[in-house]
Amino acid sequence: MSILSINPVNGAIIKNYQEDSEDLINQKIDLVHQAWLNYKETDFDSRARLLTEVSKLLTERKDQLAELMALEMGKPLKAGVAEVLKCASVCEYYAKNGAEFLADQTIKTSASKSYVSFQPIGVVLAIMPWNFPFWQVFRFLAPALMAGNCGVLKHSSGVTGCAIEIEKIIEDAGFPSNVFKTLICSSNAISKVIENPYIKAVTLTGSTEAGKKVAGQAGNLIKKTVLELGGSDPYVVLEDADLEKAAKICAEARLINNGQSCIAAKRFIVVKSVEEQFTRLFKAEMENKKTGDPLQDDTDLGPMARAELRDELHQQVLKSIGQGAKCILGGEIPDMEGAHAYYQPTILTDVKKGILAYDEEIFGPVAAIIIAKDTKDAIRMANDTNFGLGAAVFTENAALAEDIARNKLAAGSCFVNEGVKSDPALPFGGINQSGYGRELGMFGIHEFVNIKTVYIK
């Protein structure tokens, strides 16, 4: 069997990879486990030095890696460079803070000494998507390696080249051999990987359906999972918002990675009194983005990752229009010579409950504008979803904004007057159908450790 890497710009095959056999997959996992038996004995200082070297290599290779992303999944070069530098920053973050996060914590009891120790658990399986082919991996990998764990990666097949480069960077940084390996395989092989006794936990970023399958199997085997799944993030625009600023931020948040992001803004819930003005400003911002060749420096939006994803998106748009939504921008497959998987920024208005764009996640450059009567109604609509990854609110009333973000919006991350984004220092994850567990920050590094009680009489 083979794994194909296909350029979404023109449909050309970039490379044909030989799929790992079941025996080879098991050999790789065995090698990583054997490496872990020694690696877990290393100290924090040595792990931090190695992570710092990874950060340096990522920074040095940012242009090469950005070009690889552009070829494999259509990310524009400037966005690819930013992604690689973010990976470098998360390595630096855990190199600097990991030892403190994992330091023993003394607990006063009747013992002469009692404390909590954070011990590595072994080999963690990461199942990762194509949309941020480096960042998704490093936000798991940096804390895992700092904690003394090792990892195997099942990356999305279309970005196999990126997966191989990550393994090479870890090797080139001087980490012990085999602390991290890439499995070149299809999703059909994952069940057997999870069954492998050396796999101690699983982290997955992907669809809710994929999360259910992986969590179900892992739970049956009593293996911990962290799931970062889909999202239908609401951005609430209140009547006293700075509308020009809100429109700009909302457009950028909808079109991040061409809209192919779990935390991209998807539903724009606008109080009726500012509906017309916000819609006009928002449309102007969306129209201003240049779609084109991701290898050109002035391109804002490249193609979608695969033609079938673009086609599915277009069907969602057509169905929403058929259900009563109005399309005021885009909504058509562009007529671009030689183009393979492009879709223009699109805005749907008159979106109401019962219309697909209100009820389901739309994974692409399509915005749904939903009108609320007032602030209370807007919050109700924002929370009227099965997801709960991120949310944002726009208002100049600081006290109201914080109250809404802290107490009213149901999501793992709530931002005020800013687009939702992940940060190495802040825990990241969702609730409800958006998953459970957290990545990043102190909470992320504690997900895959044995939180061990030590009691000395």
* Mean pLDDT calculated for residue range 69-75: 97
Average pLDDT over residues 225-237: 96
Residues 216-231 as b or e (16 or more Cβ within 10 Å = b): ebbeeeebbbbbbbbb
Q: Is the pLDDT of residue 98 over 90?
A: yes
Closest CA to 161 of 197, 191, 133: 133
Mean pLDDT within 199-208: 97
pLDDT digits over 349-370, tens only?
999 999 999 999 999 999 999 9
Q: pLDDT of 374-390, one tens digit each? A: 999 999 999 999 999 99
Catalytic residues: 228, 262
Residues, the chain, total?
A: 457
Contact 129, 136 (CB under 8 A): yes
Q: What percentage of residues in the chain have a pLDDT greater than 90?
A: 98
Q: What is the DSSP string of 111-179?
A: SSEEEEEEEE-SEEEEEE-SSSTTHHHHHHHHHHHHTT-EEEEEE-GGGHHHHHHHHHHHHHTTPPTTS
Q: What tokens appear for 181 in the block?
A: 């390996």
Nearest CA to 155 among 247, 43, 50, 20?
Answer: 20
Instruction: Quickly tell me which residue has 């724009």 as its tokens.
Output: 268
pLDDT-derived band at 340 (thresholds 50, 70, 90) equals confident
Which residues on neighbouring strands pair with residue 127, listed in sequence order? 154, 204
Rounded mean pLDDT of 221-238?
Answer: 97
- Select the more confidently predicted residue: 178 or 339: 178
**Angle between helix 77-101 and helix 44-60 axes, rounded to 10 deg:** 170
Q: What rounded mean pLDDT belongs to the chain?
A: 97
Q: Is 382 helix (H, G, I), strand (E, B) or coil?
A: helix
Give the pLDDT mean for 61-71: 98
What pLDDT, on a 0 to 100 scale, did the predictor assign at position 338? 62
> Residues 151, 39: contact at Cβ < 8 Å?
no
Q: CA angle at residue 21 from 17 to 24, to 5 degrees?
A: 105
Q: Using CA atoms, how far apart are residues 29 and 119, in angstroms rounded to an integer?
A: 20
| The pairing of beta strand 366-372 with beta strand 265-271 | parallel
* C-beta separation of 104 from 116 below 8 A: yes
* pTM, two decimal places: 0.97
Question: Residue 119 pLDDT > 70, yes or no?
Answer: yes
Query: Measured between alpha carbons, how far is 417 from 426 in angstroms, rounded to an integer?
Result: 17
CA end-to-end span of the chain, whole Å? 59
Report how far residue 128's alpha carbon sits from residue 207's, in angstroms, rounded to the nearest whole number. 10
pLDDT at site 162: 98
CA distances from 167 to 30, 62, 176, 184 (A): 16, 15, 12, 12
Which of the four pLDDT bands, split at 50, 70 and 90, describes residue 335?
confident
Q: Are 129 and 305 in contact (CB under 8 A)?
A: no
Strand partners, 279: none
pLDDT in tens, 410-438: 999 999 999 999 999 999 999 999 999 99
The pLDDT value recorded for residue 337 is 65
pLDDT band with cut points at 50, 70 and 90 for residue 1: confident
Whether the per-residue pLDDT at 147 is higher than 90: the answer is yes
Say what the pLDDT of residue 391 is: 98
Of the candidates 106, 103, 113, 75, which has an alpha carbon nearest to the alpha carbon of residue 296?
Answer: 75
Q: What is the pLDDT of residue 339?
A: 67
Euclidean distance between CA atoms 370 and 128, whole angstroms: 32
SS3 string of 18-63?
A: ECCCHHHHHHHHHHHHHHHHHHCCCCHHHHHHHHHHHHHHHHHCHH
Distance CA 259, CA 445 (A): 28
Token pair of 408 as six digits: 């009213």
CA distance 193 to 190: 5
Evaluate whether 414 touches 406 at the Cβ level (below 8 Å). Answer: yes
Mean pLDDT, residues 329-354: 90
Local confidence band at 334 (pLDDT 50, 70, 90 cut-offs): confident
